[in-house]
Structure 1
Amino acid sequence: MAGVLSMTSLGIVAKVLTDGGYLKQPVGLQIFTVVIIAELIALLLIGFSIGEHAHQLSPVGILILLGKVAGFSVVTWVLSSRVLPPLVALLQRVIQVPQLSLGLLLGMLFLTVYGAEAVGLHGSLGALLFGASLSSLPYQVQREIIPGVRSVAEGFFVPLFFASAGLSFSFTFATLPLGAMAGLALIPLLGNFTGAFIGAYVSRLAVPYAVATGLMGKGVAEIALLLVMWNSGIIDEVVFSFLVLVMFCYILFMPSVISFAVSRASRRTDLPAQLDDIPLGIVRFALEDIKIDDILDRSRRHPAPSVTVRDFTERWIGPHQPHYVVADKGALVGIVSLEMLRYLPKDAWGKTQLDAVVRRQTPLAWPDEQVEDVLHRMSENSLSVMPVVERDSERFLGAVTSSDIIQLMTMETMGESRPPPRPAKASTRSRQNY
């Protein structure tokens, strides 16, 4: 019960931040990051606790359950992140019917929830793991499918949870002593805020009171878990009914409180400009609707394959850039990696050309592709640069680097306007490679 009362509703917090326009600001991203971490930890603890109570496990049984949970998590993650995304992307490309992919995802979701329940894990954690593993879906596919998923959730499952809670609700909570009511309502409220504030303060987050307030959001997940606990006999009808009433009060009043706290925090002028405490996976919200062509610098020069390794290391290498695109008179040759140069004797650098060490089979990006998809492909292939070519003719247009994208993230998150992409110059000299 303590785990349920300490949970935070990611959906409520995300909606408040989105409606107020704070999700792309440093304060909003910081709160959103903390809420994701807190909800994941709470679901892990609650899911295991409910499973343990339902099965009345011994210490040996707990170890067996942990093994089942670990195995289930690995299998679900592999299937959802490695098998399902390529299949969905293929269906989208060949059939071009988003509803078919949506049906496939919903079917896999139900199977994942059933599998989680079968191994003693709560279904909500299985659903969360399934959703997290689908982050590798192409951005365009996500944009086409997510509205359908949201419609199914808000139009069917959320009303179903509320209806189930309403059918089980009774006014027997009035028999509770006033002290018990005050304790169940106020102790979790004060405990959550105080603990979150202390944790945010110790972690040196910029606005600990706003982070702590953001962790106070409650939603339908808490009511659903309370219903599961009542059906499992963990709590009785009296406590269940009173806590459902408390959750309804959270749902009604906390969005306004969170919005006020975030609004006040966003007006501070002493906030740090750096985003070091925000994971890049969360900062990717800043990349929404931005395509490669929006940031592609077509005037950037690239080393030619005839350049020697020594000249390359003296004239081309920059900080935090381990990979470089090699081009020959406007045609893509490949990518050269600084790591590969370590295996080449230094006395051979003066006579060895890049053509001998270049990697010719490389992943490509297209100008109409979403920046987030390209960043994800960079990460998968352990690259810091990606050649950009025309989709049909594969004519080389230029390259984007991870530094370009990270700089764009920072500018978008800080609310700065990004500079327009620089087109290729008309002169012949600017198109030559050195």
Structure 2
Amino acid sequence: MLPELLVPLGLLIVVAKLFEGALGRLGLNSIIAYVLTGILLGPVLNWVTPNDELQLFLGLGIFVLFFNIGFDEIDVRGFVSIIGGRYFAAAIISVAISTTVALSVTSDIFGLSFSLNLPITDALALAGVLSLSSLGLVAKVLSDSGQLRESIGLRIFAVVLIAEIMTLLVVGFTVGEQAQTADAAAAVGLIAQIVGFVLVAWLLSTRVLPTAIALLQRIFNVPQLSFGLLLGGLFLMVVGAERMGLHGTIGALLFGAALSGLPEQVRGDIMPGLRSASEGLFVPLFFASAGLYFDLSFLDLPASTIAALVIIPLAGKFAGAFIGAYLVRIDAPLTLATGLMAKGVAEVGFLLVMLERGVIGADVFSMLVLVMFGYMLLIPPLITASVEHARATGAPATPLSMPPSFARYALAGVQASSLLDATRMFPGPEVPIEEFLENWTVPGHTDYVVVSDGEAVGIVSAARLKRVRRRTRASTPLHKVMRPCPMEARPDEPISDVLERMAKYAVNVTPVVDGPDGEFRGTIVTHDVIDLLALMEEIRPQPDRVHRGQGSADGTDSVSDPA
């Protein structure tokens, strides 16, 4: 029995990784290589068939896949921090419009002849898949083209982050074994589940799991302890979700999202093992299994249904994204809409789940896998061209805040010392509020560090100070209204860790201390991070110009990278 299982597994793994390398040279997505592996070894050569034993092992891949999506792409702190803003409104409008338009194809609520006529819950799940955006793909495209650190790159990142989280939650809570009803109580229950998911993920990611894992690492000296905890915890969360009547992918998503707040230093210690197991084994096998189910039965679908599956969700998604950005007056709505069109691994993952549960047949599954391939091939160059056009016609103004996860993509390897401002003057605790508001406030800054005798003694909020009665401002010193510093940073910390904690404590400034006595060195302000990104983008072309002999008077061949 064991050889019969190991032979197809070995073939799938070897061929999938070889295809990944070969197609990667052509610039093709690794997911395409994995699915093509399954198609070649399954329907074409008939060397591998998805029997029960093989499918049990392959099924583990989907939970590892959705854990990675939750860990890498669901930034709960960033999501919560920008609720209510323009980006949030644009993303919600986009998701609402695109999902509603996709429902015209997946359900019969509009009475269209080409629709799939799925029950409402299944129809909503499939509509959500067709409306989903991929933050991971967007970040990779922008990073590879050097556009992630631009203002427009940050704007696209923020909108796609919100849209992906909202759509993932809708799909995750409808793809499971839910009641097939469409009454108001079911809708309220779905919304309550989604809100509860976000709250639990936020609590776990900010208060529980990062602290617990870091503590266990210090207490126990066991090789790969954290890796074992992560893998075991993942499977337990999957079982818990299944017993609650949800699909196990929601448990995997929640666990990944809850761990997304781990400090970068801890992530660097514990993630290589899980990442290797995921990218070298589980994920290739999972997507190869999708290829095993692919066939040409979609050609028997009515031509109107095929056209509707391709065109209507595409048009609805683009229209919703453009309308959302335009209505809330975000610059470059066409560019933001193009960014929201990106699709990646989650869509194919959900389609395979729906196929295995009998929600869709092999014909619709195969048709939509081809559609997703089209998105993966065509959208990345369109995003790059759209951002280039927006930059050429005048880049939008730099935003005042960023999701914490953005720093993990755009500022990888940058330490807190790179952002340290040791030259700024800091008010003392005896400075009157009126004098502070007149002489110390700076545009774009909302929080300020108060320093006494070379020590950071507290933080004051300009908004809070302005609420103090005018007649008492001249006689009220800052120490009467300041609060203790909720956090401190060290010069050698990754800047992404610092920004994560700043988001956790809802401040945009933190003191930086060094040495055993915690000597005050200066501050880091969120706005300065944005300024650094703008500076890095401004000087990014310099090495290229110098290399071509256009940028240096002394004829040198290279310039050090300031990042």
Question: TM class by shorter-chain length?
Answer: 0.7 to 0.9
Pick aligned residue for 1:138 from 263, 267, 271: 263
Distance 1:31 1:365, change over 3 A: closer
Pick aligned residue for 2:531 from 410, 413, 417: 410
Give the equivalent residue in structure 2 for 1:239. 364
Asked if residue 162 in structure 1 is aligned to residue 315 in structure 2, the reply is no
**CA offsets per residue over residues 268-311 of structure 1, 9 Å max, x none?**
132223325x6443653544433232233334444566x56489
Check the 8 A contact 2:205/2:260 in 1, yes or no.
no
SS at match of 2:246: coil
Distance 1:45 1:381, change over 3 A: closer
Check the 8 A contact 1:171/1:241 in 2, yes or no.
yes
Which range moves more in the overlay, 11-20 or 409-418? 409-418
Give the equivalent residue in structure 2 for 1:432. none
Asked if residue 388 in structure 1 is aligned to residue 512 in structure 2, the reply is yes
In the alignment, the residues of structure 2 paired with residue 357 and residue 367 of structure 1 have an alpha-carbon distance, to the nearest angstrom, of 28
Which range moves more in the overlay, 315-324 or 236-245? 315-324
Give the equivalent residue in structure 2 for 1:44. 169
Give the equivalent residue in structure 2 for 1:368. 492
TM superposition shift of 1:138: 1.7
Asked if residue 23 in structure 1 is aligned to residue 148 in structure 2, the reply is yes
Give the equivalent residue in structure 2 for 1:34. 159
Structure 2: 5+ residue runs without aligned partners?
1-125, 541-563
Paired AA for residue 411 in structure 1: L
Distance 1:265 1:147, change over 3 A: farther
In the alignment, the residues of structure 1 paired with residue 225 and residue 330 of structure 2 have an alpha-carbon distance, to the nearest angstrom, of 43
Give the equivalent residue in structure 1 for 2:393. 269
TM superposition shift of 1:16: 1.6
Pick aligned residue for 2:231 from 106, 131, 140: 106
In the alignment, the residues of structure 1 paired with residue 368 and residue 481 of structure 2 have an alpha-carbon distance, to the nearest angstrom, of 66
Asked if residue 82 in structure 1 is aligned to residue 207 in structure 2, the reply is yes
Give the equivalent residue in structure 1 for 2:523. 400
In the alignment, the residues of structure 2 paired with residue 344 and residue 193 of structure 1 have an alpha-carbon distance, to the nearest angstrom, of 49
Give the equivalent residue in structure 2 for 1:332. 455
Paired AA for residue 45 in structure 1: V
Give the equivalent residue in structure 1 for 2:27. none
Check the 8 A contact 1:77/1:129 in 2, yes or no.
no
Check the 8 A contact 2:419/2:528 in 1, yes or no.
no
Distance 1:152 1:337, change over 3 A: same
In the alignment, the residues of structure 1 paired with residue 434 and residue 198 of structure 2 have an alpha-carbon distance, to the nearest angstrom, of 49
TM superposition shift of 1:223: 1.6
Paired AA for residue 308 in structure 2: G
What RMSD over aligned residues (CA atoms) do the two structures have, in Å? 3.8
Distance 1:406 1:178, change over 3 A: same
Distance 1:194 1:108, change over 3 A: same
Check the 8 A contact 1:113/1:126 in 2, yes or no.
yes
**CA offsets per residue over residues 52-110 of structure 1, 9 Å max, x none?**
6x444585566666656655554444234311101222345566889432332333333
Give the equivalent residue in structure 2 for 1:295. 419
**CA offsets per residue over residues 217-241 of structure 1, 9 Å max, x none?**
3323212211222222222222222
Aligned positions of 1:305-344 closer than 5 A: 307=430, 309=432, 313=436, 317-319=440-442, 320=445, 322-328=447-453, 331-332=454-455, 334-335=457-458, 337=460
Q: How many residues align?
A: 408
Paired AA for residue 262 in structure 1: V
Aligned positions of 1:199-238 closer than 5 A: 199-238=324-363
Check the 8 A contact 2:234/2:255 in 1, yes or no.
yes
Check the 8 A contact 2:172/2:250 in 1, yes or no.
yes
Normalised by the length of structure 1, the TM-score is 0.77
Paired AA for residue 267 in structure 2: Q
Check the 8 A contact 1:335/1:359 in 2, yes or no.
yes
Paired AA for residue 394 in structure 1: G
In the alignment, the residues of structure 2 paired with residue 69 and residue 314 of structure 1 have an alpha-carbon distance, to the nearest angstrom, of 42
Give the equivalent residue in structure 2 for 1:431. none
Check the 8 A contact 1:326/1:358 in 2, yes or no.
no
Asked if residue 2 in structure 1 is aligned to residue 127 in structure 2, the reply is yes
SS at match of 2:515: coil
Distance 1:154 1:304, change over 3 A: same
TM superposition shift of 1:21: 1.5
Aligned positions of 1:277-292 closer than 5 A: 279-281=402-404, 284=407, 285-292=409-416
In the alignment, the residues of structure 2 paired with residue 360 and residue 238 of structure 1 have an alpha-carbon distance, to the nearest angstrom, of 62
Normalised by the length of structure 2, the TM-score is 0.61
Distance 1:340 1:90, change over 3 A: farther
SS at match of 1:136: coil
In the alignment, the residues of structure 1 paired with residue 472 and residue 346 of structure 2 have an alpha-carbon distance, to the nearest angstrom, of 65
Check the 8 A contact 2:459/2:485 in 1, yes or no.
no
Identical-pair percentage = 46
Paired AA for residue 488 in structure 2: L
Paired AA for residue 243 in structure 1: L
In the alignment, the residues of structure 2 paired with residue 98 and residue 30 of structure 1 have an alpha-carbon distance, to the nearest angstrom, of 41
Give the equivalent residue in structure 2 for 1:428. none
SS at match of 1:325: strand
In the alignment, the residues of structure 1 paired with residue 436 and residue 146 of structure 2 have an alpha-carbon distance, to the nearest angstrom, of 45
Give the equivalent residue in structure 2 for 1:426. none
Which range moves more in the overlay, 194-203 or 234-243? 194-203
Distance 1:68 1:356, change over 3 A: closer
Check the 8 A contact 1:161/1:223 in 2, yes or no.
no
Paired AA for residue 256 in structure 2: G
SS at match of 1:218: coil
In the alignment, the residues of structure 2 paired with residue 361 and residue 220 of structure 1 have an alpha-carbon distance, to the nearest angstrom, of 41
In the alignment, the residues of structure 1 paired with residue 448 and residue 433 of structure 2 have an alpha-carbon distance, to the nearest angstrom, of 16
In the alignment, the residues of structure 1 paired with residue 376 and residue 538 of structure 2 have an alpha-carbon distance, to the nearest angstrom, of 34
TM superposition shift of 1:400: 0.5
Distance 1:135 1:175, change over 3 A: closer
